Amino acid sequence: MSGRAPENIPCTIVGSGNVAGALAAAIQQAEGSRFYLGGVYARNVEKAASIAGETAASGRIREMKSAEGLLILAVSDDAIQEVAKLISGFDLSEELVCCHISGAAGLDTLEPLAQQGLRVGSIHPLQSFPAGANADYFRDISVSVLSPEAENLLTGFVESLNCRPVPVTEQQKKELHLAAVFASNYLVALMELVNRTTEGLSQPLSEILAPLIQTTLSNVSDKGTEQSLTGPVSRGDSGTIESHLELIRRKQDGQMMHSYKSLGRVALSLAAKSERLTPAEINEIEKLLRE
């Protein structure tokens, strides 16, 4: 006898972008999971078909018509509400749970589906998915889960992908998205400043600094920020800070100057908390880092 046990839960993905592709692959590759990929529907029918592969259904969103199990809206943030409204007119099982995967959007975007009596939620993967991302991008990552009505099902789904579920309130979800922007997007921006500091080296700067960056990140995750801070601010070395400021002045890079000073002030507040510096040292560095 073939077929799936009745307790198995079909997942339907709407969207065919970066996350949709990686998520579909992660669902299909998850071992021993009771969730399986039932279908992929999107504006771009070729992309939907290529993501669905041979075992799942695919088509245009309007062709979905009915859905059961778990419906995941993997469309651009601005399109979630519009797509939710479109889908709310379909033949939907009353047991259906519908979620989006956006960090920024709230549950209000799924209101058209909630009004139909469906349970709604959000699962936000704390990961960066470039074009062509595959199932590996879901391996061992954290995923925030917000769903007052279907937390168990969504938590089970996240665990089935071997991800770590992080239950959040609406407020925590917004704050976690802010955190993710600092940790990912602005880390990239910081690396752009790093690249601008030095020219003409024999190897790329990102290669030279890779071990330093990795060690710093692992120190922060093992010991926390306070114990991981090293460098001139943590030592109260105002002479070095002055010479850095002079170097940046010569480069005439306003963004670098502003960032050096404002990040320096954050580092100073950490160093001051750990009581490594005398009040006189803190005052002197504060003066140097003033805008």
Interacting residue with ligand NAP among 58, 81, 102, 160 (CB under 6 A): 102
* Among the residue ranges 2-10, 100-108, 234-242, 264-272, the one whose residues contact ligand NAP (CB under 6 A): 100-108
The least CB distance from residue 168 to ligand NAP, in Å, is: 14
Q: By CB under 6 A, tell whether 77 contacts ligand NAP.
A: yes
The least CB distance from residue 55 to ligand NAP, in Å, is: 20
d(CA 8, CA 6): 5
Residue appearing with tokens 């073939």: 2
Question: Which residue type does 88 have?
Answer: S
* Among the residue ranges 120-128, 194-202, 239-247, 270-278, the one whose residues contact ligand NAP (CB under 6 A): 120-128
* Among the residue ranges 40-48, 155-163, 223-231, 280-288, the one whose residues contact ligand NAP (CB under 6 A): 40-48
Interacting residue with ligand NAP among 9, 10, 15, 87 (CB under 6 A): 15
Q: By CB under 6 A, tell whether 209 contacts ligand NAP.
A: no
The least CB distance from residue 110 to ligand NAP, in Å, is: 12
Q: By CB under 6 A, tell whether 229 contacts ligand NAP.
A: no
